[in-house]
A and B are shown apart, each in its own frame.
Chain A
Amino acid sequence: MPTASIIKFTDSSSLSELNKAIDSVIEEGAKTVLLLTCIDNNYNQEKSKKVLQQYTVSLCGAVFPKIIYKNKSYSQGAIVLGLMVHCKVVNYSMLADSDADLKSYIQLKSQQIENYQNFIIISDAFCNQCENFTDHFYDYMGSGISAIGGGAGSLDLLPHPVIFTNQGLISNATQVIALPCPITNSIAHGWEILEGPYLVTSSEGHYVHSLNYRPTFELYKEIIQNKIDYPLEDDFFNEYAKRFPLGIMSLDGDILVRDSLQTNGAYLECVGNVPMNSMVYLLHSDLHKMTLASEKAAQEVARKGVANTLLLFDCVTRDLLFGENISDELEVIQRPFPNTRLVGVMALGEIANTTNGSIRLLNKSTVLGSF
């Protein structure tokens, strides 16, 4: 039975505070150290490398837009999670463009953790192979595994070195932390169908070119226009996209949310793949529904057993939608666990098992794990 992790939190952006916190958890007996920090800390690359390289204990984790401690989110600071178990950390940095190469690379590197069943997966959100990685990783590790995770990086959509390793911060990589103890997880989003379905008649990876044989953006704008009483401005997209994501309906009724990131006036670029010939819906939600969904997810995790460590990957767009009310959501998640401090991050895409067990890249969702 794993013991509770040692948690050190600081709202300081200083590297020395991070250094102190790492020293402290190691002194208290941590076997693996998970670092969750904010992009706005702006750690100096060279200095942080020096700090990280001094440790022999395995370091892992990443830099996110925000971190979560108890019922608050912070845009500066760090959480140092001293795990009391030896975890195997694998960094997948050679994510080649060719799918066949990627598959064999992932299989080769994953051999060292093939006997593990529970994983935290953190991916540089700007690594373009993130979703292919989760597909191949799941294919190799098989059904029955449990995973939580999310995308690291910055909302400025620029690449940064964001993955913590013992060699320093690296970019364009995916990190898998294999835990020797079970992870209980639950996912929720609270998004519901507003309109649809629409058949994806042309798509390519993240790019949805046409729905029902019409340019996606044109149809998207038309649907939203029909829902409101005033004419849409030309620049409506940035405002409305975060409130009206697309959703892919599974055969069993689950909705996989796909956030629309940008458009060229014809296609929509989503955070995650939208398969050709799949059925998509226009989704909507409100803070109440999203909060209810998160509460339900937390209760489900609580029902499954004791939580020694609670780790939350909440979508950064939820934070944007909730604004100052984000504490409402975090409070309902924390509530079923009065003796365990909630820690987590606001992520750029979340990673978890869906109902059929496969590991998927999620959007606008909450992924809660306990171990």
Chain B
Amino acid sequence: MNIAMHIMSIQHQLVLAIDKDPDLKKMLHQFLSLCSLSLNSTNSHIFLIKDNNNNPAYQLNINHEIQLKHYVSFPMKKSGLLSSEDTKLFDLVNQFFQNNRDEQEQKVSSTLYHFFKIGDFGVLTIEREKSLDQAIRNALPPVLNKLAISTIAAINHHSLVIEIKTRQRVEEKISYQASHDFLTGLYNRMKIQEFLASAIDDCIHQEQTGAILLINLTGFKNINDVMGYHVGDEVLKQAAVRLKVLIKDMGIVARFNGHEFIILIESLSLNNTKAQSIINDVIADIIYAMEIPFEFVEGRFSLSCFIGYETFNNASKGVQDILKNASIAVYEAFKRGKDKALPYNEVMSKQLNDHISYTREIKQALAFNEFELHYQPQYDHLNNMIGAEALLRWNNPLRGYESPAVYIPIAEESDLIMQISSYVLQQACEDIRKLQQLPLPDTFKQVSINISAKQLAKHDFADTIILAIKKNQISPLHLKIEITESIMMGDIELSIACLEKLHDFGVECAIDDFGTGYSSLAYLKRLPASLLKIDRSFVTDIHKDPSNHAIANMVIKLANSLNMEVIAEGVETKQELDSLIALGCYQYQGFYFSRPLTFNKLVESLEA
């Protein structure tokens, strides 16, 4: 009676652990803990089949030899050794599993093992001081059948949980990627638009003001070009962190585009003065944060930024209007240069529209051949014409001649400058060819054309010039190119290589506007340039402006030391000429000698 009751007690105690926890490890651990209590085991273990990911499994793969792996033990160790690392136990369990018996007692050294199959995918091992009574052993299979069923259910549960978690992770990842910028981890442009839409509603209902600040990092392109995109990416990441740190929970920071960030600030007062005061503080903080040099292994980089912003507190402006206005404001700030941050106003839109229509007019001018080349003759101190600089003129049918100072910067913002440059090169070559057919004076050397930064940055720049020379059958000695110091700021090595190629071909190079760009003297020495042009700003009143006199003197001396010729631009008076002669400059260009002439007038002048 007592034995029967004891067996029943053991069965029921063990069964209590089964199904208690859907977590397989916890359930089996609890089961083994009860084995210790009710079967008086010293150690007990469960070994299971495991899949390739080391997760427990219950389906046999018939193509492979099955080997059970340790899953859980109670207690975890035996005489200090982890049961999961007990190779003898591992071998014994697998030997038992390979035979066809459901249970087995085996004594190895001083340890008595009882092995029991759990379904056809696991083994329960009980270590005891004494042998288990046969009646108890006979009572265990029903318990183990139940354990097998629950183990399968727990494995399925586990697989399901893993699948759900995996799906959740994937969904979270997709959702994250859809709303975040992959590089900086900030919200992306799409997400900030959603936030902005909701912020507009909030501001209307809660009678508050919101603001969008668009931040454009200036000087960033140089880092990408010179140091590579990996450094550029790091700069963007650091900039993102700085913005997040300073904004904290005051607003939302997002990456808008390339090197543009955007900040949405809500909950500002409807009172303009108060709102503006907070915006000003934020702007000051952003400018300060962006101007702290960015430190990398590759070096230390300084950037600055321009900020355009727009505020909102009613439904008059939609998401796209606000973003567009902030964008216009940052463009305007960039264009003006002196203000780091500007609020949007409607005048900016008008100016921008004017700008757009002006760009359209330039395109039309190119199509209708409204551009002309005029030539400003260059003279030596003996009044001999030594060359001429080709100057672009736009004969607008409505407005007459337009100043290049107006349309060249606009053309440079787009690829129109390339089309214009192409026209200049072609027209100059055609005119040179005509000049070559004239009996030119010996002193007349060449016609020079101005080269834009975008032209020089092209890999085929030198080839384009050479091709034009060949195509028009002119002497390369009759064409000179003029570059400014500032256009040397891009890929300097590429520029030097192009200029050297042209130099070898026979085309000379002049450095225009010298003294205004503060170019590196080390690079200047490497340029295959033969002429320095003193900028007109240093020539004006040189006879009475000691500062200009000193600079011109320095440029002339520098040219001498580099074995370069020097020419002064913008000479307008006899006194200026005398000063230049006194300083040792013997080539000139300016109204004192001649205004720019049409090609026909230049020819007349040469023939005179």
- Listed in ascending order, the chain A residues whose CB lies under 8 Å from chain B are 115, 117, 135, 138-144, 197, 199, 249-252, 254, 275-279, 355-358
Stretch at the interface among B40-48, B420-428, B540-548, B579-587: B40-48
Stretch at the interface among B2-10, B241-249, B341-349: B2-10
A-B pairs with beta carbons under 8 Å apart, 9 shown? A115-B80, A142-B77, A142-B78, A199-B8, A251-B6, A251-B39, A251-B136, A277-B13, A277-B15
**Count of CB-CB pairs between chains A and B under 8 Å:** 83
Sample of 17 further A-B pairs with CB below 8 A, known A251-B133, A277-B12 = A139-B33, A139-B74, A140-B75, A140-B76, A141-B77, A142-B43, A142-B75, A142-B77, A251-B38, A251-B39, A276-B16, A277-B15, A277-B16, A356-B41, A356-B129, A358-B42, A358-B75
CA distance A135 to B30 in the complex (A): 11
Nearest chain A CB to B378 CB, angstrom units: 87
A139-B76 contact given A251-B136, A252-B40, A276-B16, CB 8 Å threshold:
yes
Per-position contact with A for B1-27: 1 when CB-CB < 8 Å, else 0? Answer: 010011011101101100000000000
Nearest chain A CB to B506 CB, angstrom units: 81
Whether A117 contacts B80 by the Cβ 8 Å rule is yes
Whether B2 contacts A275 by the Cβ 8 Å rule is no
B366 sits at the interface (CB 8 A):
no
Q: Which residues of B contact A250 (CB under 8 A)?
A: 40
Which of B6, B8, B15 is most buried by chain A, counting CB atoms within 10 A of its CB? B6
B36 sits at the interface (CB 8 A):
yes
Per-position contact with A for B122-154: 1 when CB-CB < 8 Å, else 0? Answer: 000000111011001000000000000000000
List B residues 101-136 near A (Cβ within 8 Å). Answer: 128-130, 132-133, 136
Q: Which residues of A contact B79 (CB under 8 A)?
A: 117, 142-144
B37 sits at the interface (CB 8 A):
yes
Nearest chain A CB to B571 CB, angstrom units: 87
Whether A142 contacts B80 by the Cβ 8 Å rule is yes
Q: Which residues of A contact B42 (CB under 8 A)?
A: 143, 356-358
Whether B5 contacts A279 by the Cβ 8 Å rule is yes
CA distance A358 to B36 in the complex (A): 8
CA distance A304 to B80 in the complex (A): 22
Q: A-B pairs with the 9 shortest C-beta distances?
A: A142-B77, A144-B79, A277-B12, A277-B13, A142-B75, A279-B9, A251-B40, A139-B75, A356-B40
Q: Looking across the interface, which residue of chain A has its beta carbon closest to that of B8?
A: A199
Q: Which residues of A contact B13 (CB under 8 A)?
A: 275-278
Q: Which residues of B contact A135 (CB under 8 A)?
A: 33
Whether A278 contacts B128 by the Cβ 8 Å rule is no
Q: Which residues of A contact B38 (CB under 8 A)?
A: 251, 275, 278
Q: Looking across the interface, which residue of chain B has its beta carbon closest to that of A115?
A: B80
Q: Looking across the interface, which residue of chain A has its beta carbon closest to that of B81?
A: A142
CA distance A254 to B40 in the complex (A): 10
Whether B9 contacts A277 by the Cβ 8 Å rule is yes
Q: Which residues of B contact A356 (CB under 8 A)?
A: 36, 40-42, 128-129
Whether A143 contacts B9 by the Cβ 8 Å rule is no
CA distance A207 to B75 in the complex (A): 26
List B residues 42-79 near A (Cβ within 8 Å). Answer: 42-43, 74-79
CA distance A250 to B41 in the complex (A): 11
Whether A252 contacts B129 by the Cβ 8 Å rule is yes
Q: Which residues of A contact B136 (CB under 8 A)?
A: 251
Q: Which residues of B contact A357 (CB under 8 A)?
A: 42
Q: Looking across the interface, which residue of chain A has its beta carbon closest to that of B136?
A: A251
Q: Which residues of A contact B128 (CB under 8 A)?
A: 356
Nearest chain A CB to B7 CB, angstrom units: 10
Nearest chain A CB to B17 CB, angstrom units: 11
Q: Which residues of B contact A275 (CB under 8 A)?
A: 13, 34, 37-38
Q: Looking across the interface, which residue of chain B has its beta carbon closest to that of A256?
A: B37
Q: Looking across the interface, which residue of chain A has its beta carbon closest to that of B2?
A: A197
CA distance A139 to B36 in the complex (A): 10
CA distance A275 to B130 in the complex (A): 23
Nearest chain A CB to B235 CB, angstrom units: 42
A141-B75 contact given A278-B38, A279-B6, CB 8 Å threshold:
yes
